[in-house]
Amino acid sequence: MPLIFKENLLENDLWGIWEIKEEEDWFFKQWQLSPEENLHFNKLKGRKRLEYLSARHLVHLLTGLDNRMPIHTDLVGKPIFLWDPTLHLSISHSHQYAAAILSKTSKVGIDIQLIVKQMRKVAKRVFSSTELSFASTENELEMLHILWGIKEAVYKAFGLGGIDFKNQIGVDPFSYQYPKGSFEAGLTKENQTITYSGTYQFLPEGYVSVYLNEER
């Protein structure tokens, strides 16, 4: 089974990466979707179906439970566990990989991306002048993807929608490191700032993952 790895981050945090190589039938031999999950799954087409199944299988492995627990979504699409509302969850998938993070102590967010040149076309719309400035290095394309991943992960951790990526999510300057590095970010909404800290990590085949926790 292509579980790339799973790693304990803090006392009650766990994250992992799954390489998507199976066909749909393989997953259904392991477990079945809940009626709610099945309704959503049947609307998906092509590769999205495998990404959906892979992410749920990865989360099942991270929970360590014998029986897979369904993953529901709230009104803004955030994945949640109805059987344990205190367990925070975030998932992501992109082509070849699925990623997930679980925490019993804080809100979490995760993102995984394939590094592509098209990111430069949207950079000015989603990143501040300060962010573009410290991303302007010999590794600019990788830095832009890290920044995008951070903002996506913050959005997921916040979980309430209605966020302006450029003006409400700010990333503190950091230096490029390979194969992994750390960062801090903040979300400002209604005169309140929520801070986050996390890690980015490069994966084989030109992918980068980002995961973070809300600080208390």
- Cα separation, 114 vs 97, whole angstroms: 9
Give the pLDDT of residue 82: 85
Contacts of 139 (CB under 8 A, 6+ apart): 176
Give the pLDDT of residue 7: 82
Give the pLDDT of residue 75: 85
- Cα separation, 72 vs 156, whole angstroms: 15
Token pair belonging to 3? 């579980």
Fold of 3-105: Ribosomal Protein L22; Chain A (3.90.470)
Contacts of 151 (CB under 8 A, 6+ apart): 126, 165, 169, 171, 185
What are residue 178's phi and psi, to 5 degrees? -135, 135
Give the pLDDT of residue 12: 76
Write out pLDDT tens, residues 117-173: 999 999 999 999 999 999 999 999 999 999 999 999 999 999 988 899 999 999 999
Which stretches of the chain score pLDDT less than 70?
1, 5, 10-11
Is the peptide bond preceding residue 179 cis, with omega within 30 degrees of 0? yes
Give the pLDDT of residue 76: 86
Nearest to 171 by CA among 142, 146, 208: 146
Count CA within 13 A, CB hemisphere, residue 163: 24
**Ranges for all domains in the chain classified under CATH 3.90.470.20:** 3-105
Nearest to 100 by CA among 91, 108, 109: 91
Give the pLDDT of residue 175: 95
Strand order in the sheet with 13-19: 3-8, 13-19, 97-103, 88-94
Q: Provide the whole-model pTM.
A: 0.95
